[in-house]
Structures are given as C-alpha cells and as structure tokens.
Structure 1
Amino acid sequence: MYKLIIIILLSVPFNTLADTVNTDDELSTALEKIRIKNDIPSMSVAIITSGEITYIKGFGFLDKKQEKATNEESLFRIASITKLFTAQAIMQLVEKNKIELNEKVGRYLSSFKESSITIKQLLTHSSGISDTIKPVGFEKQRTVGSYLGLVKQSLPENNEGKDFEYSDTNFNVLGAIISSVSGDSYEKYIYNNILKPSNMKESGYFDSESAYFSETEPTYKGKLLDKADRRPYDLSFNPSEGLISNVHDLSRWLTLTLAGDSSLLNAQTYKDMLKPQVKTSWGEIYMGLGWQLYNHSNDIIARHPGSIRGYKSLILTYPDSKNALILLTNSSNTPRWEIAKLITNTLKQNAEW
C-alpha cells in the first residue's frame, strides 16, 4: 500500500500538488477568518470539483470549552436543505407511476379531497398555502394527522394555487403524501431510498423511536440561544427542515445527484428537476422541482439555503460543471453568500473551477 501511494504521488505533477495544497491553505485561512469575525462557533465546509470531493473541513468547536473540534462528521440541523430530499423522494414515486405531478393532492390525501392544489404546486411553492401552523415540541404529542387537519382548516376557501410564496407547509404535506403512497413513514422511506443508497450513515431524522439531534447547539452572535427560543423538533416538520446531517454525508449524496446516478433517479428526472417552473419573489430566481435556479455569468446555478433559529446552511451547485459547495453552521448570523462568493472566487482564481 505504501509503494502504491508513492507511485500515485509521483504520477502527479509536482506543481499540481503544490497548487492544490496552496489553494486549500488559502481557503482554510480565509474561512477561519470569516468564522471568527462573525462569532460562528461551529462551521463545516465541503467542496466538489468536477464531481469529486476535493475539500472537506470543520472549523471551530462543538463545545463552549473549545475541547471538541468541529470536523466533517459533526452533525448539524441542515434546515430547509431537507426539502431537496423530500423533492427527490416525490420524483422517485413519480418514476414508479405512484404519483403524477399535475394530479390534485386530494387523490393521495383524503383530507385534501376538496382542494384543487397539485403536487407540482407544492414542489414549486405556488400552492397558495401559507406558513400559519408553527412547529411544536414533541412533548405536545401532535401527530402528522392532526397537523394536516390544522393545515386543512387554514386553507382559503378558493384555494387553487397562486404566485410564488415560500412555505414549509408545502413540503410537510408532500412528506405526508410520500408516506401515504409508499406505505412507510416519511423517515423510513427517505432512509431506505435516499440515505442508504447514498451511504449517508450518520444522517437521520428525529422521530418517536430514533432521536437524531444536532451535535452543534444553536447560537446567535456567538451566544447560545435560550431553550425557549430554540426551534422545536417536530415530527410533522421533518419533510421541510428535519434532517440532521454533516458535510461528509451530504457530499456523498450530492456527488451522486450531480452525476445523475441511477441509484437515486433516472437521468431525465434529474434534468426535469432543474427546469424553471415558477418565478420567485427573489429577483431572477426561479423554482425548479425543489431546487432554486438562476443564471450567473453563463452558468446555471441550482441551490437551496437552510435557515432556522440558530442555524444557517447552504448547498450551491453548478450542474453543468458538476462543481458544488456545502456549508453548515450553528449560527443565525452566518454570512452565507459572502462565504459562497469567497469559495467560488478563490477556486476560480486558482483555476480549480
């Protein structure tokens, strides 16, 4: 094995190795400066270049005493990045002819039989459903069924969908549809059909039997949030924000997604998910099927940020070149777009991307 490693190293031009090391060092130094400047206790970053994981690192510490360093396997609440997993699950069921995108939700959930909302409208946040129902602590024993009952009561009388309105509720309803159609709980379906094929061994959802919790505690400007101010773990919100993961696991899933790997979806389905469907209220950004899409300097960018109290995260991808970055933090004041720009500019300047 030692000889093999030496042979591999000798087969790579010295300048290439040196440039890679210099880029990594430059990037790590800059990222650490941003972390310290913004009082972010814990941060993890992964970078994918041409479909391969080329950089993965943790910054800061998991504990107040700064004895346990953050690494690529440190677990965070990834918040709304979870929606990408829910969207992939829906598209898997579309491929199996168990769901039709233009079919009304009432076909799959009896409590919505009088609604004209479609699956595609849920995926693109154009259903007209607002986030009037908030998550509650698990100790209150609210079931998914009772949550759906509250959502039904909150629907406007003439609910036929409308222009874009970002809403967690859309994806929570999609999670219930996944469970109804597959016969499994939402969490079990995602584990068997996405997490397991992606080899995401450390990732999972909070539920009544398997309690996954973030190793990183939520903060704002370096201070821990009081218990009363923290976002509750709510089973009915798992499809929109519940996945607990790390950059190591997410990078495995994302490399498969960027490659159009058949273990998750058919090649055409990946492409379909990246077609603009609905213009958002965020400038020239469009909703695909789960993904948020826009163009920049002739590049197509597909992204999804995540944000709940005390956590901010981001997945930003360039599907054509199969480049991507993953950012997880336990701070509400993380400058995600500044960090994304730093990473992108550094890699482009060093001809990495």
Structure 2
Amino acid sequence: MSRTPIRAAFGAAVALALLAGAAPAGAATGSTLRPQLEAITAAGMPGVFAQAADGRHRQSAAAGVADVTTGAPTRPGMRHRVGSITKTFTATVLLQLAGEGRLRLDAPLGRYLPAYAVDGVTVRMLLNHTSGIADYDHVIFATDASLEENRHRTFTPAELAAIGLGQPPTNAPGATWNYSNTNYVLAGMILEKVTGRTVAHEISRRIIRPLGLRETYLPGTGERIHGPHAAAYIPWYDGVLADFADYNMSWAWAAGEIVSTTGDLNTFYRALLTGRLLRPAQLAQMQTTVPWVPGAPEYGGYGLGLYSNALPCGLVWGHDGLVLGHATISWHSPDGRRQVTVAQNMTHYVAPGQPDPIADATFAMLTAQLCGEQPATTRAAVRPHLADTAFRR
C-alpha cells in the first residue's frame, strides 16, 4: 500500500459524486451484512464492523482484523473514535437549550462570546457551517511530524478558536457552506457559557445517560480508549501501518471527541429522529439544510449538526466522522426504522483522484442496507470518502 503524505484537514468525510455502481434498490438487507463487510476488507480495509437495523430487527457483524500484528479479529461491539459525529451531540444540546428559551439560534456570536465576536456571524451559522470562520486543523496538523508531536498535547478550546479565527475567512457570513471544526469549538464554548457546566457534563446528562448509551463517553485528555477497540491505522512512510489509537483528543473537543459503538450510535440517532431528544420545532430547525449542490435540495444538505443525503430510496439522515485512523458513518431513514452505522480502522490511505475501492464497497453496503426493496427516486448522492483527500499535500 503506497504512502501518501498527510496535510491534515479534519472535516466531514464526504465528497459529492454521482451514484454509480452502487447496490441496486432491490438489494437484500439483514443477512447480507457480513458478506458486505467482507467486501470492504477484501478491498483493503484492515478491519470493519457495523450494526444495521430494519424496524425491530438488528444485526451486528464484523470482518477483518482489529490488530494487524496480533491478528486479533474485529468484534461488532468494539468502541471507536467517532470523530465529527460528536457534532450531532453538541448541536442537540444547543437545540435543547434553544427550546428551553436559554439560547437564540439567530443571536450574534458576540452575545455569548464577546471576545470571539465576528460581525454577521450567528449561532445558527456555526451549527450549519455557513459562518465563514476557517478551520484550525490544517494549522495544528501542518506536517506529518505534527501527528506525533500532538499525540500527548492538550489544546484548550480558547487556543483552538483563536487559531481558527486567526485564519482568513472562507466566505462572508451566511453566504455559503464551508465545513470548519472551529464552528463547533465555538459552539461548545457557548454551551458552557449558557449552562455553566462542561460540554462532557451536559452531553452525558442530557443524552448519554437518558438513552442508556453505556459504551459512549467523552475522553477529555485521556489518551486511551477504554474497553475493547481496534487499532487506528495510517499507512506510514516505511510501509507499515502506524497506530494512532492512543491520542489526546482535546484537539477535537466538542467537534469530534466522542468514543462510542455502532449500537449506541443507532440508538442515539433513532431517538433523535423520532423526537425523543428534541421538540418538533427544534428538530425541524436541525433538519433545515444548506444544500450540498446549490439550488438542488433533492440531493440533501447540511443542517444543524445533522445532514441529509440522497440515496436511491430517498433522503437519509445522519453524520460521519474521521479522525486519525478511525472512520465512522451513521445513516438513517427519516423515521429511524432503517439504520446502519459502520466503523473502520484505517484512514488516509489513498491519494487525491485515485480509485478508492474501499469507499466503493462501503457505499454499496450503506445503500443496500438502507434502501432494501424500496423504489429508486434519485441517481445522486453525497458519497462517503473515508480516505478524506482534503488531508493531502
């Protein structure tokens, strides 16, 4: 496997593409999960595990290895760094606060964080990535060496926000969609300012404990993943797979810190989409999206910490996450009945513009599990790109 240098830009692991060669609308669900995961490992992913659901029927499966040195297999219930899926949790808490009258989505950023005010930027623009505030990750992960240098480093939210705000803006406030982790660092700071408690406390109190997500937690500055988990691989210069499973995730914080399982994420998104976590007005706000393709909302778009995505059977909802060596995609039908969450233990494995059979096999699995025998309604989608070519020089 060839090594492509990294220029880290830790954003959403999605890329716009036409839906070509994906599973047909009549693909089977349920019992097909294991061979679909084996197709992903056959394409080159060391290990993959997933949980799919169709109403009350749930199936978990895994393929490949969690550790290439020992040959230990992946297991369906392993814990995993889920990266930017954390954004859905953070946004849910802020929308709860809005429903309680403690926060206004269209209030200026400076109302809550005067020291970080940017003219024209509102809380809503942070949550739907239209603020124009630049990301910080390409600064803190500017070189390959910085991946190791930051392994044990603690970043403060104020430090991350200052770095992002110190970069040239990507667009005028509200003008267009540009993914930026700085938005969710600022959102986390607002959460703490309004509640007087930490992000970890509020997410645990409002979401994790009420839903019984026993395998989900925010690690803070703790570097090790508690409980069974896979390695987190990046192909390195000498041809070996470097393991980044042990890492201080303070650099991601409210934008991407959470550790979870495929089962817990399915439980979370079903509760969210069925109205258990948010009032109807707030859920409607969350699902008001900025189109991926300007002027073409039928392809889906980004809402408030939640996105919609066009598949052959219609729009699905969810989010994805990609950090060092761990990638996760969690997609769900609008009613929360059909669900699939998949986790993989290698990232940064393909150069820009090169074929990516791993992503092809992953997308085929997601489409088959979610669409089943429903009729096709569209030919376009936002495809997951698990290698995330934005990381490249």
Q: TM-score, length-normalised on structure 1?
A: 0.80
Q: Do structure 1's residue 226 and structure 2's residue 232 form an aligned pair?
A: no
CA drift at 1:48? 2.2
1:98 aligns with 2:92: no
Q: CA deviation at 1:34?
A: 2.3
Counterpart of 1:4 in structure 2 is none
| Aligned equivalent of 1:47 | 52
Deviations 1:244-293 (A, max 9, x none): 111122122122123221xx2223322331122x2336974422112222
Change over 3 Å in CA distance of 1:348–1:107 after alignment to 2: closer
Who is 1:163 aligned against?
Answer: 176
Report if aligned partners of 2:49, 2:75 keep a CA contact under 8 Å in 1: yes
Paired position in structure 2 for 1:253: 268
Deviations 1:36-64 (Å, cap 9, x if unpaired)? x13322212111223x3521223233233
1:1-353 equivalent positions in 2, closer than 5 A: 24-35=30-41, 37-50=42-55, 52=56, 54-66=58-70, 68-113=72-117, 115-132=119-136, 133-134=139-140, 137=150, 139-154=152-167, 156=169, 160-208=173-221, 212=225, 215-220=229-234, 225-226=241-242, 233-261=248-276, 264-276=277-289, 278-280=290-292, 284-297=299-312, 299-320=314-335, 322-332=337-347, 333=349, 335-336=358-359, 338-345=361-368, 348=371
Q: Tell me, yes or no, if the aligned pair for 2:312 and 2:371 is still in contact at 8 Å.
A: no
CA distance in structure 1 between the aligned counterparts of 2:251 and 2:168, rounded to whole angstroms: 17
Query: How far apart in 2 are the matches of 1:347 and 1:151?
Result: 36
Higher helix share: 1
In structure 2, distance between residues paired with 1:23 and 1:295: 18
Local SS of the residue matching 1:154: coil
Q: Offset at 1:126?
A: 0.5
CA contact (8 A) 1:314 1:328 kept: yes
- Structure 1 pair 25/298, CA: closer, same or farther in 2 (3 Å)? closer
Distance 1:139 1:348, change over 3 A: closer
What per-residue deviation string (whole Å, max 9, x for no partner) do you get for residues 178-221 of structure 1?
11111111111111111111211121122146964682222246
Tell me: CA distance 1:230–1:77, structure 2 relative to 1, closer, same or farther (3 Å).
closer
Question: Aligned pair in 2 of structure 1 residues 62, 342: CA closer, same or farther (>3 Å)?
Answer: closer
Structure 1 CA distance, aligned partners of 2:67 and 2:103?
45
Query: Is the contact made by 1:315 and 1:325 (CA closer than 8 Å) also made in structure 2?
Result: yes
TM-score normalized with structure 2 length = 0.72
Decide which moves more: 187-196 or 233-242.
233-242
> CA–CA distance in 2 between the matches of 1:291 and 1:337?
23
What secondary structure, in the 3-state scheme, does the structure 1 residue paired with 2:328 have?
A: strand
Q: Using the aligned pairs only, state the percent identity.
A: 21
1:322, distance to aligned residue in structure 2 (A): 2.9
Change (3 A) 1:230 1:117: farther
Higher RCO (C-alpha under 8 Å, 6+ residues apart):
2
Segment of structure 1 superposing worse, 146-155 or 119-128: 146-155
Q: Classify 1:330/1:209 alpha carbon distance in 2 versus 1 (closer, same or farther; 3 Å).
A: closer
The more displaced of 294-303 and 74-83 is 294-303
Distance 1:308 1:107, change over 3 A: same
CA–CA separation in structure 2 for the residues paired with 1:156 and 1:33: 41
Instruction: Answer with 1 or 2: which has the greater Rg.
Output: 1
Please state how far the C-alpha of 1:307 moved relative to its aligned partner: 1.9
Count how many residue pairs are aligned between Structure 1 and Structure 2.
326
User: Taking structure 1 as reference, are residues 140 and 54 closer, same or farther at Cα in structure 2, changes over 3 Å only?
Assistant: closer
**Amino acid of the residue matched to residue 292 of structure 2?**
T
Deviation at 1:32, TM superposition (A): 1.4
**CA–CA distance in structure 2, aligned partners of residues 109 and 90 of structure 1:** 15
Counterpart residue type for residue 102 of structure 2: K
Would the alpha carbon gap of residues 311 and 163 (structure 1) be closer, same or farther in structure 2, given more than 3 Å must change?
same
